[in-house]
Structures are given as structure tokens and as C-alpha cells.
Amino acid sequence: MTGLSLNVCEQHALDGRLGRGRQLAAQLVTALGTIYGAHDLVPVASAQIAGVSYRNLGRAGLEFLSEWAQGGAAVTVPSTLNPAGMDLENWREHGIHEDFARAQQVVIRAYEAFGVLPTCTCTPYLIGNRPRLGDHVAWSESSAVAFANSVLGARTNREGGPAALAAAILGKTARYGLHLDEERRPALVVDVDCRLETAADWGALGYLVGRMAGDRVPLLRLHRPPPGLNEASDLLVSPYLEHLKALGAAAGSAGAVGLYHIEGVTPEARRGGVRCIEGAEQATIEDLRPAYEALNAGDDTVDLVSVGCPHACLAELVDLVRLLRGRQVRTAFWVTSSRDVLDRARAEGLAQVLEAAGIRLMADTCLVVAPMQSFGYRTLATNSAKMAVYAPGHCGLVTRFGSLEQCVSAALFGRWQADPGRDG
Ligand code: F3S
């Protein structure tokens, strides 16, 4: 019935000899392996599990988690959680309804019962869940998947939340898709001949690449690489960290890109470079304006500004402090990040400066998974192309997309000022 071969331990798990919880996990992992033609399972170094917000999970999701937990399942590899529907500590101050908060806390406790760390961030690689080059992992959350595959050189498919949890329990996933060398070869080569100055520009590029690539692996050839990008030995601590996470997040949301290569920059495209598949398509991007035009709508009045999609790193908070120059914002302004990064920002005095300017720092959550409809905002300004893709449908917000500088200006004056070279 299947070309999937299991060793004795894996077969025992599937037969239920290691408990009901493991059996359910093995059933899911092997079912996916069978559907996608895997020959065997591969051990994973870590898992990143999405499907945390009660807004998306609902009662049915909670019942699913309870059934697995009652079967005695526990994760066997380091496992982290994606954002929840609220800041787990400060939800009251943020106006989250008591009923939603209670349900969200039950979800978090259910994951904790499996041994999953309640990190609640989409940037697990910034807080210690950092796979090494060549590691196989089981990650869900499209932006984290793109980052793990492309920037860290780890190997994961775009797992759904239950599949990532199943792999975490079993310690293995089915070896297909982006776990295989062959599937990591580019099928699309994009010559990029335009200025890439801000994280928003990288997000705009990701949006265009995602629309072209769909679920194919693109290879980007940057004709005007920003200074120092090619020389960065550790992309995770390079000044381009926020740009690369913006690129992958946008490509993963506008298309279904789980891995991109940048010639001479990302780990698998350094030195000898990657070998494209035969007949790989060629394309050129010379202008980012189509992305800015597609992601900007509505009038110029802004009532909410959001930064931190994917969750902000420390350097983005430093930039924000610099651009504010001690001024007070007049719109609502939410910065979303991991609790760990916000703790570091507080230790360095950055958090206090941002709060004094009227900015709300939110850990554990983001707009797309929070119950946004209950807040009554109308127009959002963001520097994240991914957020601009999702906010209209998921949050019911009209969206303005541009640089961090434009977002700060919108927050100071309540109006969006178009950049004539980009969105105007
Ligand atoms: Fe993260 Fe939410 Fe954006 S999960 S990538 S901040 S949509």
C-alpha cells in the first residue's frame, strides 16, 4: 500500500505500542509521507508549531489537542510556539475580552502539557531555536520556514501546525519535498536590478517574487547588492537580518515560497552556487512599484500603525527610537515582538523610550492572529509586505504599506505620506 519503509521503533509507534498519543502522531506523519511519496522518515532537530491563537484554533482545535494530550503524548525534540491571540501577560491592558483570554490560556496550557515551550513568536531563530546548516526540522509558520530553509540552510517543509506537533512528538518527519537535495534546486531565476534600501523594499521584492514563483524555489541574482551583504559570514547577526526575514515572509505569503536562494549570499548559493533544474524559468525585476501599488489602498488617514511582522528584532527597535527623535505618536502604534527581545530592549532602555512616545509593545502575538475586529480600527500603516497581504482579509483593515520612516510619519501626523518613487 505504501513505499514508506519504517524501522522497528517507528512501526511500534504506529501500532500503538508506545501509547495512543504517539500512535496519533505516527499516523499523521506516515499519512503525509505516503501522500507525498516519501521512502522513509528523518529525525528532526526541532519543531516550530503554529495554530496557537484561539481565534484560529477554536473549540475544535482545543478538542484535537486534548485528545492527543490524553493519549500521553509529549514532544521529544526542542519545540517552540508561534504567536498567540494576545500578549499572555498584558492582555487586560490591551483590551482583550476576558472570555477570549481564558480560552487562549487553556490552549497555551495544552501545549505546555506536551512539553512545548510557550515562546509565542514567529522568529524562534532569534530566541534560541536556531537549527544548523543541513539540520532537518519540522517548522510551521511560513515566514519562519522561509528563514530556516533559506538563511540558515536547515531543511523543512511548510508544515501545518498539527503536522509540526506530530513530528515533535515522534522526533521525526517524512523525508519528502524540501528535505531532499533535488527539491531544493531553483526552478526560477530572477535577475533583480533595482535599489533595495529598506526592509519594506525587501518585502516588496518578496511580494513580487512570491507572485512569480508560487511554490517553486527561486534563485535571486542581485545586480545591485547592498554594501556588505555578500561578505556577511553570519546572516543572523548581519545588518540584513530584518531585510531577509521581510523578503521570506512576503514571498511565503504572496506565493507559497518555502525556500529562496540569493546567489553568493544564502548558504546553499555561496561559493559554487546552486544548480538549477533543467528548463528553469528566467525573469527580471527592475521596479518595485507594482508591489507598492498592489499593497496600498484607501485614503490617507491612518489610525493604527504596526511594526514587527515577522516579530521585530532589536535592531528594528533601535531604528524606531532613532526615527521618533523623542516625539509622541498620535495614532495607535503597536510593535509586536518576542518576549525575549522585548526583555532585552527593556534592559537596554529602548522599551522605556518607545513606551514614553506612546507606543504599545506587545509580546506573544500579532495583528493577524489577534481578535482585531473588536478594536474598531480602520486603516493600518505597516512596513511589512506580509502584514499588508493579510491585514485586509484577516483583520478587516484597509492598508498602507511603506518604509519604517513613512510609518513613523503616519503615526506622528495621522496621515500617510506617499513616497513618489515608491507608492506615490
Ligand atoms: Fe509573525 Fe504574525 Fe507576521 S505570525 S510573520 S507577525 S503575520
Residue 236: per-residue pLDDT? 83
If you take atom 2 of ligand 1, which residue's CA is the nearest one? 366
122 Cα–ligand 1 center, Å: 6
Closest ligand 1 atom to 50 CA: 4
Residue 294: per-residue pLDDT? 97
Residue 424: per-residue pLDDT? 62
Residue ranges, the chain, pLDDT below 50:
1
276 Cα–ligand 1 center, Å: 30
Cβ of residue 123 lying under 6 Å from some atom of ligand 1: no
Cβ of residue 203 lying under 6 Å from some atom of ligand 1: no
If you take atom 7 of ligand 1, which residue's CA is the nearest one? 368
Residue 123: per-residue pLDDT? 98
CA–CA distance, 31 with 401 (Å, rounded to integer): 40
CA–CA distance, 147 with 228 (Å, rounded to integer): 19
CB atoms within 10 A of CB 7: 10
Ligand 1 pocket test target in 55, 368, 369 with most atoms within 8 Å of CB: 368
Residue 420: per-residue pLDDT? 73
Cβ of residue 175 lying under 6 Å from some atom of ligand 1: no
Q: For the segment 248-266, what is each residue's pLDDT rounded down to a tens digit?
A: 999 999 999 999 999 999 9
Residue 2: per-residue pLDDT? 53
Cβ of residue 142 lying under 6 Å from some atom of ligand 1: no
Q: CA angle, corner 87, sides to 82 and 88, nearest 5?
A: 85
3 Cα–ligand 1 center, Å: 37
If you take atom 6 of ligand 1, which residue's CA is the nearest one? 309
Q: Which amino acid, 12?
A: H
Q: Which residues contact 249 (CB under 8 A, 6 or more apart)?
A: 142, 143, 146, 203, 206, 309, 310, 384, 385, 386
241 Cα–ligand 1 center, Å: 16
DSSP per residue, 66-82: HHHHHTT---SS-EEE-
Residue 147: per-residue pLDDT? 98
Cβ of residue 336 lying under 6 Å from some atom of ligand 1: yes
